[in-house]
């Protein structure tokens, strides 16, 4: 009876046991499913770090020529990576902290000093509404309440700065990743390259397109931010406001930050002119900020990036805006990079079709 349950040579097709042929049959589908699952889980794990990874890769590509020059003299990649990482860290943190400090102090001191004067000017410019303004002021105690709020904000400066903890952690992750990319970037590329189903020439084309796109993107961001800072300084100078060059510099630095920009300065200034009754200055500030400064970003940036990459400005505009919409700050880099990858993929398909 037991012999019925033992495999023998005549049971290869009906054997209840898993044979080597069965293993070979299910190996490829199982490996494919496992690969897709692992890649999906890896993407989910790395999703919170998209921005630090993107910016570290961008800085690493941008600094590669300089790193090669330093390595030719020092011949120690760890020292080169340390020097360049420190330079990037200081170049980001010092201007950012200085701009935040200037804006925060100006907001607290300026609003607390101007609000009482602004309420009295509202009464003078609109005498028919002075009774209503006095009633609102006495009922809600606007000046006292806002003054107390500003005083509390001034006392809670450390708490407000602590709320940007994730920003600091993101910067540290960016610098941490940048160090290893500068030191071991060639090793990473050599490990990733064989996994791409591309020839060496095709991989080289893809790497060059991505590198050119990142260079053009960062170049366009810096040029547009400098232009917006210059235009903001011109506005301050025309309005005969003190510190025009300083505020222009701050507006240029703010223009580098996604979701912020020069409007952080000119929009409150226009509102202040309205409260004070300076309608001409308010209209000039609003029109200059919205049309000249604001549109310079939407028009000049796609032109600069598209010209360097030989893409149409409309394509660059949609991929840039869509990238920022979907990826946040990292979309400034990822949007144009995805456009470059799409274009390279189309070129590779065309080349394969011609060769076939």
Secondary structure of 128-179 as H, E, C letters: HHHHHHHHHHHHHCHHHHHHHHHHHHHHCHHHHHHCCHHHHHHHHHHHHHHH
Question: Can you give the pLDDT at residue 98?
Answer: 66
Residues 247 and 231 sit within 8 Å (Cβ to Cβ): no
DSSP at 17: S
Question: Can you give the pLDDT at residue 331?
Answer: 85
Highest mean pLDDT among 81-85, 132-136, 349-353: 81-85
| Percent of the chain's residues with pLDDT above 90 | 3
Residue 171 pLDDT greater than 70, yes or no: yes
Distance CA 87, CA 63 (A): 11
Residues 268 and 286 sit within 8 Å (Cβ to Cβ): no
User: Please, which pLDDT band fits residue 118 given cuts at 50, 70 and 90?
Assistant: low
User: Please, which pLDDT band fits residue 190 given cuts at 50, 70 and 90?
Assistant: confident
Question: Can you give the pLDDT at residue 306?
Answer: 75
Calculate the average pLDDT of the chain. 75
Distance CA 321, CA 339 (A): 12
Residues 224 and 304 sit within 8 Å (Cβ to Cβ): yes
Question: Can you give the pLDDT at residue 298?
Answer: 74
Report the pLDDT averaged over residues 23-41: 76
Domains of the chain, by residue range, sit at 44-187, 198-356
Residue 6 pLDDT greater than 50, yes or no: no
Distance CA 262, CA 161 (A): 21
Distance CA 205, CA 350 (A): 14
The residue among 198 and 206 whose pLDDT is bigger is 206
**Helices and strands (H, E) in the chain, number of each type:** 14, 0
User: Please, which pLDDT band fits residue 314 given cuts at 50, 70 and 90?
Assistant: confident
The residue among 223 and 160 whose pLDDT is bigger is 223
Residue 137 pLDDT greater than 60, yes or no: no
Report the pLDDT averaged over residues 318-339: 86
The residue among 83 and 221 whose pLDDT is bigger is 83
Nearest partner of 323 among 214, 188, 227, 223, judged by Cα: 214
Q: Helix 279-287 crosses helix 200-238 at what angle (to 10 degrees)? A: 170
The pair of three-digit structure tokens given for residue 36, joined into one six-digit string? 């897709």
Report the pLDDT averaged over residues 219-248: 84
pLDDT in tens, 249-269: 888 877 877 666 787 788 888
Collapsed DSSP state (helix, strand, coil) of residue 16: coil
DSSP-assigned states of every residue in 210-271: HHHHHHHHHHHHHHHHHHHHHHHHHHHHHTT-TTHHHHHHHHHHHTTSTT--THHHHHHHHH
Residue 291 pLDDT greater than 80, yes or no: yes
Residue 193 pLDDT greater than 60, yes or no: yes
The pair of three-digit structure tokens given for residue 25, joined into one six-digit string? 């049959």
Residue 112 pLDDT greater than 60, yes or no: no
Nearest partner of 120 among 136, 133, 110, judged by Cα: 133
Name all contacts of 103-109 with Cβ < 8 Å and 24+ positions apart.
Answer: 103/250, 103/264, 103/265, 104/157, 104/160, 107/268, 108/150, 108/153, 108/154
Residue 60 pLDDT greater than 70, yes or no: yes
CA distance readout (Å), 246 to 108, 192, 249, 264, 265: 18, 46, 5, 14, 12
Question: Can you give the pLDDT at residue 165?
Answer: 67
Total residues found in the chain within this entry: 356
Report the pLDDT averaged over residues 30-58: 86
């Amino acid at each position: 009876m037991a012999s019925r349950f033992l495999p023998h040579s005549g049971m290869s097709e009906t054997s209840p046991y898993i044979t080597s042929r069965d293993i070979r049959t299910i190996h490829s589908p199982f490996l494919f499913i496992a690969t897709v699952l692992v890649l999906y889980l890896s993407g989910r794990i790395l999703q919170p770090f998209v921005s630090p990874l993107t910016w570290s890769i961008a800085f690493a590509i941008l600094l590669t020529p300089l790193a090669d020059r330093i390595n030719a003299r020092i011949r120690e990649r760890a020292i080169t990576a340390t020097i360049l990482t420190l330079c990037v860290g200081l170049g980001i943190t010092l201007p950012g902290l200085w701009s935040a400090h200037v804006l925060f102090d100006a907001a607290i001191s300026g609003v607390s000093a101007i609000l009482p004067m602004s309420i009295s000017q509202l009464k003078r410019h609109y005498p028919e509404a002075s009774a209503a303004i006095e009633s609102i002021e006495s009922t809600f105690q606007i000046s006292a309440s806002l003054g107390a709020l500003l005083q509390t904000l001034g006392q809670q400066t450390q708490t407000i700065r602590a709320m940007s903890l994730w920003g600091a952690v993101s910067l540290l992750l960016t610098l941490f990743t940048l160090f290893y990319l500068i030191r071991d970037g060639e090793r990473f590329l050599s490990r990733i390259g064989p996994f791409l189903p591309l020839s060496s020439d095709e991989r080289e084309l893809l790497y060059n397109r991505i590198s050119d796109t990142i260079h053009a993107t960062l170049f366009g961001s810096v040029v547009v931010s400098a232009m917006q800072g210059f235009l903001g300084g011109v506005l301050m100078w025309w309005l005969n406001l003190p510190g025009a060059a300083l505020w222009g510099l701050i507006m240029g630095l703010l223009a580098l930050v996604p979701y912020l920009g020069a409007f952080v300065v000119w929009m409150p200034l226009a509102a202040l002119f309205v409260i004070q009754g300076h309608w001409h200055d308010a209209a000039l500030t609003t029109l200059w900020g919205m049309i000249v400064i604001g549109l310079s970003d939407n028009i000049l940036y796609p032109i600069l990036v598209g010209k360097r990459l030989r893409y149409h400005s409309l394509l660059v505009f949609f991929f840039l805006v869509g990238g920022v919409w979907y990826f946040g700050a990292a979309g400034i880099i990822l949007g144009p990079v995805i456009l470059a990858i799409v274009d390279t993929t189309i070129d590779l398909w065309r080349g394969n079709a011609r060769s076939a």
